[in-house]
Amino acid sequence: MNTTNKDHIKQALNEKGGVQVWWRLLRPHTLTASFVPVFVGTMVAVNDESFNVWLFLAMLFASMLIQSATNMFNEYYDYVRGLDTEESVGIGGTIVRDGIKPKTVLHLALSFYFISFLLGLYICSESSWWIALIGLVCMALGYLYTGGPLPIAYTPLGELFAGFFMGTVIIGISYFIQTGTMTPEVFWISIPIAIFIGCIMLANNIRDLDGDKENGRKTIAILIGRPNAIRFLALLFITAIGLTAYYIVLGILPFWSLITFIALPLVIKVIKNFWGKTQPLEMMPAMVATGKTNTIYGFLLGISLLIEKLL
């Protein structure tokens, strides 16, 4: 790509230099996928009369560090495999557009993993050492999502793995370290969150469909085609919202959880912004809206549990 086209891409994505280069590397719009599960799992524990602020903060920072490191592994390995170019949308662009050395990105990711490992030792010392095994599995999968001989992100299982481990597993751990127990309600409550996180990954794959297909990926979006993938995304959103309403009726969630329906207009916006679009830059607003939908839904779900406790 010549300099003019490269500058055009950076301008279209509003990419700036300096500190923002490193901020983009974290892919901040995806970090809600690590914040929301920890927050929701902890709020369920608060509802059950258990809360340790230091365990909450340690779990939150460890989860966000692992998520950030996973994004860096993605940046590094997609570059190494030749998938990312200066025209790629949805990446940090630190390697292909800002000239940061690939090894620097890899070493930073490993540093984040080391810090999260130390936080994990504290969490285990205050709860159970069984958490260490689960944590190591999560870290391994974070690496294998785009690293290793057969990256999970290149298969139809990316959304499932991301939703289950970042949603259900993290919510379960966040609850367990606070209470020392596990209940069926925690699992049921985790399902809509897991779906919303899977939606972030699906939205990413819808946007990147053409480039991924050229590079041999076999994501769900590629296998069923863009129009059907958008319909599937809408179905997942409807399922998550429907489950929320069902849980309220059953009493698994409090009446206050109706406030999560505030996210509905964003759901509609996501589908509208995807439909009929074929260029990655055109679909960026839909990607941003998908991340915001997860943030708003998850935050309001946690707040509804806190309200129930306080009242």
Q: What is the pLDDT of residue 33?
A: 85
Instruction: Write out the residue range of the structural domain in which residue 111 sits.
Output: 3-310
The pLDDT tens digits along the chain (311 residues) read: 455 555 555 555 555 666 777 777 887 777 888 899 999 999 999 998 899 999 999 999 999 999 999 888 988 888 888 776 666 665 556 887 778 898 999 999 999 999 999 999 999 999 999 999 999 999 999 899 888 888 898 899 999 999 999 999 999 999 999 999 999 999 999 999 999 999 999 999 999 898 888 888 899 999 999 999 999 999 999 999 999 999 999 999 999 999 999 999 999 999 999 999 988 888 988 988 998 999 999 999 999 999 999 98
The residue ranges of DSSP E strands in 56-175, in sequence order, are: none
CA distance 31 to 131: 22
Q: What is the pLDDT of residue 59?
A: 97
Q: What is the pLDDT of residue 88?
A: 63
Q: What is the pLDDT of residue 5?
A: 52
Q: What is the pLDDT of residue 92?
A: 59
Q: 279: helix, coil or strand?
A: coil
Q: In degrees, to the nearest 5, what angle opens at C-alpha 167 toward C-alphas 248 and 185?
A: 35
CA distance 229 to 216: 18
pTM of the full structure = 0.90
Amino acid at 80: V
Amino acid at 177: I
- The per-residue DSSP string of 238-272 comes to HHHHHHHHHHHHHTSS-GGGGGGGGGHHHHHHHHH
Query: 63: which residues sit within 8 A by CB, 6+ positions away?
Result: 34, 35, 37, 38, 116, 170
CATH number (domain holding residue 293): 1.10.600
Tell me the torsion sign for CA atoms 160, 162, 164, 167.
Answer: negative
Q: What is the pLDDT of residue 90?
A: 59
Q: Is the distance from CB of 194 to CB of 266 less than 8 angstroms?
A: no
Q: Is the distance from CB of 174 to CB of 37 less than 8 angstroms?
A: yes
Amino acid at 291: G
Q: Is the distance from CB of 199 to CB of 294 less than 8 angstroms?
A: yes
Q: Into how many domains does the chain fold?
A: 1
CA distance 35 to 160: 19
* 122-159 per-residue burial string, b: 16 or more CB within 10 A, e: under 16: ebbeebeeebeebbeebbebbbbbbbeeebbbbebebb
Q: How far apart are the first and last CA of the chain?
A: 59
Q: What is the pLDDT of residue 1?
A: 47
- Locate 37 and state its tokens: 């599960």
Q: In degrees, to the nearest 5, what angle opens at C-alpha 83 toward C-alphas 210 and 276?
A: 20
CA distance 182 to 176: 6
- Locate 223 and state its tokens: 């296998």
